[in-house]
Amino acid sequence: MLKVVLATNNLHKIEEIKPLLSKIELLTLKEVGLDVDIPETAETFVQNALLKAKSIFNLCGIPCIADDSGLEITALNNRPGVHSAYYSGSRDNQKNIEKVLQEMQNETNRKARFKTVMVYYDENSFRYFEGITYGIITKEPIGEQGFGYDPIFIPDGYDKTYAQMTLDEKNKISHRGKAIKKLVEFFEQF
Ligand code: IMP
């Protein structure tokens, strides 16, 4: 069975992805003896994910999966984008949300999209898989579930935010869920 390492220290992501990938043996950074945090310094999701996957591959020589996600808001020229995690200057979800809502205060165009890019990298190939979910930004935070910008994002076709959905419900329609589905399909051929 092909061994692949997942370039994240986020246990939540590992738990979410692992059960879906039955064709490969998914290893954590810890399991391959790495304690690293690769900075996401690039200007696109693909470049950031590739940067992480390549760095980890170069450190351990095992094929690697890495991801990068964020929120792109049309009226803000696609910000926060790759800067989603630290948009307010810190990794504080509430402060990040406050900054977005403040910038969106007088905007009538509330359109936004969440994007995830998942990259697979080994010595011979590089593939990437994208998941996008379109929606709108609310005027105030609603809901308690999830993380990040979940309380201010209503996916198209719904009348509730990501933060008002169960994890299962969100995974079925989320940007991350869609990218993971494509990755799973890719590994079906292994
Ligand atoms: P990551 O690349 O998956 O770690 O995501 C980077 C940042 O984008 C996170 O810290 C969140 O601020 C935001 N983000 C990504 N995915 C989601 C989501 O599903 N809900 C809410 N915020 C998200």
- pLDDT 10s digits, 66-93: 999 999 999 999 999 999 999 999 999 9
Output the residue whose Cα is nearest ligand 1's atom 14: 70
Tell me the pairing of strands 2-6 and 24-27: parallel
Ligand 1 within 6 A of 155 CB?
A: no
Distance CA 13, CA 6 (A): 9
Predicted confidence at residue 79, as pLDDT, reads 98
pTM: 0.93
Ligand 1 within 6 A of 8 CB?
A: no
In ligand 1, the atom with minimum distance to the C-alpha of 87 is 12
Minimal CA–CA distance to 172: which of 130, 133, 143? 133
Q: How far is the CA of 144 from the centre of ligand 1 (A)?
A: 16
Output the residue whose Cα is nearest ligand 1's atom 7: 85
Minimal CA–CA distance to 116: which of 158, 159, 84? 84
* Ligand 1 probe mutation, 8, 67, 84, most atoms within 8 A of CB: 84
Angstrom CA distances, 81 to 28, 48, 96, 165, stand at 26, 12, 12, 23
Predicted confidence at residue 40, as pLDDT, reads 85
Q: What is the CATH number of domain 3-187?
A: 3.90.950.10
Q: Which residues are catalytic?
A: 68
The mean pLDDT value of the chain amounts to 94
pLDDT tens digits along 120-158: 999 998 999 999 999 999 999 999 998 999 999 999 999
Minimal CA–CA distance to 6: which of 44, 60, 43? 60
